[in-house]
Amino acid sequence: MTAVEAILRNSRTVAVVGLSADPDRPSHIVASYLKEHGYRIIPVNPNEKTVLRLKSYPDLSSMPVKIDVVDIFRRSEDAPPIVQEAIKNAAAAAAARKAGLKVVQDRCMRKEHIKLFGAGE
């Protein structure tokens, strides 16, 4: 089982950093899809009060629950090394691995979910 498949199968709570209330933004599209497919979404955006009818938190340290996955929607130079398509940050990835975290870069959770399970599941 690949790291991405393990994440999608075994993780249920996803903090989405940079989740926008704009339904045309990639973060909103991905989070909506994941929510529709059974994932618990926790919005993280200091500029939003609610997104997807869910309370938005200003940062990860404000999370009231255990997070399984952090899906980050940021410019590549700002992004820590978790999951987002077209994002790579070697230094941040190395630091995260050294801290014992699993790192997946340059992937989209929605696209990977569709590849593994199909759009209808």
pLDDT tens, 3-52? Answer: 889 989 999 999 998 999 999 998 999 999 999 999 999 999 999 999 99
118: left (phi over 0), alpha (psi -120 to 50) or beta: left
Q: Which residue has the tokens 């599209």?
A: 29
Q: Does domain 3-117 have CATH number 3.30.70.890?
A: no
pLDDT tens figures, 60-100? 889 889 888 888 886 545 544 444 555 567 777 787 778 77
Farthest-apart Cα atoms in the chain, separation? 37
